[in-house]
Structure 1
Amino acid sequence: MGKQLPEITPELQKFIKKQHIFFVGTAATDGRVNVSPKGYDSLRVLGPNKLVWLNLTGSGNETAAHLLKNDRMTIMFCAFEGKPLILRLYGQAKIYHETDAKFQQHIGLFEENTGSRQIIVMDIDLVQTSCGYSIPFMDFKEDREQLNAWSTKQGKEKIKAYQQEKNAKSIDGFETEIR
């Protein structure tokens, strides 16, 4: 059954690397709680208590707004194939934009992507596993390419304009520091 661990074990790091989807949960003190599914090859484990995630341009930017108000973040993975497992990573996260040195330090870990919006670095203070016995089996077919194709078609300048229009504030009106 479930366990609480102080860090990501090598076995759990292998599990994370195989996942095609993860879920990010954040909340400011006020307003709505946000849970976002994330895909692509956009997450790297940097050590037993640290990870980095490439946040891509999308229709909203709740995670950024929440992290500026409250740095708590949870990332959850579910095993849809093989041995059942749910893995949650709890900790504090900081968000970095293209003009920040930390963004530049980590962007090279990922394939170039026109839709790159922010880098999020998470310090993990608790790792929790649970059984996942109720999670269904689902086969991975392939990544959807629509977001990358759309970003590439737009180009950097139109992506920046889109971010200014659609990603500068959360649905609760919180700033995201999109520049």
Structure 2
Amino acid sequence: MGKVFDGIDQQLATWLTAQPMFIVGTAPLEGDGLINVSPKGMAGTFAVLDEHTVAYLDVTGSGVETIAHLQQNGRIVLMFTAFDGRPNIVRLHGTGEVVLPGDPRFADLIPRFTVHPGVRSVIVVAVHRVSDSCGYAVPRMTYVQDRDVLDLWNANKGEDGLAEYRRKKNSASLDGLPGLV
């Protein structure tokens, strides 16, 4: 059934990047803090950098939980699920880092992704554990297309509107941890 892999080989990298959606899970250190799971999608927003490193484009949204949790403790898991083809679930456990636009590494990372308005960071994950499980109970679903609502919303806000939105909505997590400053 489930296997643990030494890293992300080319076959797995191809499978991961072909999935139209993945889930990100993080949590604060405090036991009573809120655990966060966040669905991610949009083609071209996830990249395998090498066999032990992945990254994804972080676009402005309603919360800042992932960023706040990573800044506090770095713990992260990404889960990919096959909704068509052979059933499969893959989890990438690791340590995440928030790379902001002012960071010199940002310029090297951003060309790996498709263009989207409202990019606030790139999340880079040093993957410590790669595992799969059966996915037998996951339903078959048909991918129709990416939604363009987030891109349209971010484009409509414009850079000044996004900066103001981030100040209001992305400065702290639900538990009060620092987010974007």
**TM-score normalized by the length of structure 2:** 0.95
What is the letter of the counterpart of residue 17 of structure 2? K
What is the letter of the counterpart of residue 10 of structure 1? Q
Q: Which runs of 5+ in 2 are unaligned?
A: none
1:25 counterpart residue number: 25
Question: Do residues 105 (structure 1) and 108 (structure 2) align?
Answer: yes
> 2 CA distance for matches of 1:56 and 1:145?
13
Give the root-mean-square deviation of aligned CA atoms: 0.9
Question: Do residues 35 (structure 1) and 40 (structure 2) align?
Answer: no
2:56 counterpart residue number: 53
Instruction: Please give the per-residue CA displacement for 1:23-42, whole angstroms capped at 9, x wherever unaligned.
Output: 00111101111110001121
> 2 CA distance for matches of 1:81 and 1:23?
17
**Number of residue equivalences:** 178
> 2 CA distance for matches of 1:165 and 1:102?
27
Residue 111 of structure 1, CA deviation: 2.3
> 2 CA distance for matches of 1:56 and 1:167?
12
> 2 CA distance for matches of 1:130 and 1:113?
32
The answer as to whether partners of 1:5 and 1:126 remain within 8 angstroms in 2 is: yes
The answer as to whether partners of 1:6 and 1:127 remain within 8 angstroms in 2 is: yes
Q: Percent identity?
A: 38
The answer as to whether partners of 1:6 and 1:125 remain within 8 angstroms in 2 is: no
What is the letter of the counterpart of residue 165 of structure 2? Y
The answer as to whether partners of 1:50 and 1:124 remain within 8 angstroms in 2 is: yes
2:150 counterpart residue number: 147
Map of 1:128-143 to 2, 5 A cutoff? 128-143=131-146
Q: Runs of 4 or more off by more than 3 Å in structure 1?
A: none
Residue 78 of structure 1, CA deviation: 0.4
> 2 CA distance for matches of 1:111 and 1:128?
27
